[in-house]
Amino acid sequence: MPSQWEDKSKPHRNIVFVGHVDHGKSTTVGRLLLDSGHIEEHVIEKNEKLAAEAGKAGFGLAYVMDGLKEERERGITIDVAHKEFFTPKYYWTIIDAPGHRDFVKNMITGASQADTAVLLCAANDGVNAQTKEHAFLAKVLGVKELIVHVNKMDISGVDWSEDKYKAACTEVSTY
């Protein structure tokens, strides 16, 4: 990553990733950080090895944000996690919030800090209780911008289907 990007005097934005449990929030954040050069490939490789040893193969990207032992054992986010992210224009703080209903208080903590929310909706699963609750809570907490991210388009049964994508978009837009 170019060092000139790492400038905390740029305008700062907080962005929270929210949505139903297992819709891919932590994995999406890990992918974003990897693909943008904010985390190195060897970190993901190490995480993939740790995840495989723990019986959680494929969780290497999620481990970027899910660092607690219990999170890694259970395969879910429990507490909010923060990572810095720089673009040419902004200095961002990414907030990864839990999706499980048992940890909604932690989601509220994360969302209350956010300017923008990314609401993940898995194409293979659609809108669920926490998807709706997280969208509602983000609005109530004053989040002004909401980005809907339809995730898991590559899963068998979805197979990049435009109809599945449109169905997920329509379902999210009804609330």
Residue 51 lies in a domain: no
pLDDT digits 0-9 by tens, 11-28: 999 999 999 999 999 999
pLDDT digits 0-9 by tens, 71-96: 998 988 999 999 998 899 999 999 99
Residue 143 lies in a domain: yes
Q: What is the mean pLDDT of residues 149-163?
A: 94
pLDDT digits 0-9 by tens, 32-43: 999 999 999 999
Q: What is the mean pLDDT of residues 134-156?
A: 95
The domain containing residue 83 runs over which residues? 3-38+77-173
User: Cα angle vertex 170, ends 169, 172, to 5°?
Assistant: 65
Residue 46 lies in a domain: no
CATH code of the domain covering residue 81: 3.40.50.300
The per-residue pLDDT for 153 is 95
> In sequence order, what are the beta bridge partners of 13?
92
Query: CA–CA separation, 19 vs 122, rounded Å?
Result: 9
State the total domains in the chain: 1
Do 60 and 30 meet the contact criterion of CB atoms below 8 Å apart?
yes
Q: How confident is the model at residue 5 (pLDDT cuts 50, 70, 90)?
A: low
Residue 61 lies in a domain: no
- pLDDT at 64 exceeding the cut of 50: yes
Residue 82 lies in a domain: yes
DSSP, collapsed to helix, strand or coil, labels residue 172 as: helix
Query: Which two tokens mark 78?
Result: 């429990």
Query: CA–CA separation, 70 vs 78, rounded Å?
Result: 8
Residue 10 lies in a domain: yes
Residue 54 lies in a domain: no
Residue 67 lies in a domain: no
Q: What is the pTM (predicted TM-score) of this model?
A: 0.90
Ramachandran angles phi, psi of 13, nearest 5°: -130, 140
Do 96 and 25 meet the contact criterion of CB atoms below 8 Å apart?
yes
The per-residue pLDDT for 3 is 57
pLDDT above 90 covers what percent of the chain?
Answer: 77
